[in-house]
Structure 1
Amino acid sequence: MHLVDIPVPDTLAARGALALAEQYQTPAITAHALRSWLWAEAFARIDGITGIDHELLYVAAVLHDIGTVTEFDNHTISYEHAGGHVGVALTAGAGWPRERRQRVLDVVVRHNWPSVDPSMDAEGYLLETATALDISGARPDALPAAFIAEVLVAYPRGALAEEFGACVLDQATRKPDTAARRLVDGGVVAKLAANPLERLGEAAEAERNS
């Protein structure tokens, strides 16, 4: 499994999602979004999940945290709902039908669930599994080590632990009835710091520069 095995969808919606992410998010959060998409595609292969909507998965992954940025933050709803609605607006402009636009919202919201049944929502399961790896370090040995190293070199973690930790703490404080509070209470800040991908990323970068 290599990066070249996972093509970026070449569609209006996919290009628009990345443009939004790069305009409004920090490089570390955007790299997290792109790694999450790659982990999701890789887990689909590892877990034998077929028939997924690759464009939908890409758009949802790239935008799953955009509800945390100032311009799209919503003072009454969770950041995953806010980000999901950004995805709805984007895909409406790309001509997606209403039902498929709703799927973007569903997948983005469900990435913050404790778990998602793949038989109920394959894309939601994949994004939840992928973000659990990139944030909390869940299932770190499930994917090929060489693929993980390749992804970490292409999209370094940078200041993700510091930035996302501060972001989710802010969300939990201002919106204590949302999933952000559960993440904080579940020790997400410590999990970010202890994530084995942090060390693997440093090792991969050092090897590349040696």
Structure 2
Amino acid sequence: MQLRDFTAPDTQAARAALELGTAYHSPALLNHVLRSWLWAEAFAAAEGRTDLDHELLYVAAVLHDLGIVPAFDNVALSYEEAGGHVAGALTAGAGWAAERRQRVLDVIIRHNWPSVDPTFDLEGYLLETATSLDISGARADALPAAFVDEVLAAHPRLTLAAEFTACVTDQAERKPNTQARRIVDGGVAAKLANHPLER
């Protein structure tokens, strides 16, 4: 498994998602969402999961944390739901059907679930698994070490631990009934500070 094995979809929606993500994410958060896409694709390959929507997974991964940046921080909605609605609007502009736009919203919302059954939502499972690795260190040894090193060299973690902790803590304080509160109460700050990929 090598970084060159995974290529971003060359579609209007994928290009627009990357353009939007690049414009609004900090360098650390942009690297996080790109690593999340790569981890998701890598888990799919490692587990032999071939029946997935690669374009939808890419768009969802690149936009999954957009709701924590100031421009898209919703006053009431959880950050994953806010980001999911942005993804829905973007993909509407790219001509996606309503059902597929709902799917990208669902996948982004489900990335913050404690777990997702792959038989229920494969892309949701892959994004949840990938973000759990990148934020909490879950299944850190599940992917080939050389591939992990290659991804980290291309998309370093930078100040992700401090930035994400600050953003999600702020969300939890302002929106205590959202997944952000569960994540903070679950010790995300310590998980990030002691992350196995922070070296």
TM-score, scaled to structure 2: 0.99
Cα distance in 1 for partners of 2:80, 2:52 equals 21
> What does residue 111 of structure 1 align with?
111
Q: Which runs of 4+ in 1 moved over 2 A?
A: none
Cα distance in 2 for partners of 1:25, 1:11 equals 21
> What does residue 195 of structure 1 align with?
195
TM-superposed deviation, 1:90 = 0.2
Show CA shifts across 1:154-199 (max 9, x none): 0000000000000000000000000000000000010001110112
Cα distance in 2 for partners of 1:152, 1:135 equals 14
TM-superposed deviation, 1:69 = 0.9
TM-superposed deviation, 1:28 = 0.4
> What does residue 161 of structure 1 align with?
161
TM-superposed deviation, 1:48 = 2.0
Aligned Cα RMSD in Å? Answer: 0.5
Number of aligned residues: 199
Show CA shifts across 1:129-155 (max 9, x none): 000000000001100000000000000
Alignment partner of 1:4 is 2:14: no
> What does residue 177 of structure 1 align with?
177
Q: How does 1:84-99 map to 2 (within 5 A)?
A: 84-99=84-99
Show CA shifts across 1:56-105 (max 9, x none): 00000000000111111101110000000000000000000000000100
TM-superposed deviation, 1:46 = 1.4
Cα distance in 1 for partners of 2:77, 2:10 equals 32
TM-superposed deviation, 1:51 = 0.8
Cα distance in 1 for partners of 2:168, 2:47 equals 29
TM-superposed deviation, 1:52 = 0.3
> What does residue 205 of structure 1 align with?
none
SS in 2 for 1:196: coil
Cα distance in 2 for partners of 1:50, 1:5 equals 14
TM-score, scaled to structure 1: 0.94
Cα distance in 2 for partners of 1:7, 1:77 equals 32
> What does residue 141 of structure 2 align with?
141
Task: Extract unaligned runs of 5+ from structure 1.
Answer: 200-210
> What does residue 63 of structure 1 align with?
63
TM-superposed deviation, 1:50 = 1.6
Show CA shifts across 1:35-65 (max 9, x none): 0000000000112212100000000000000
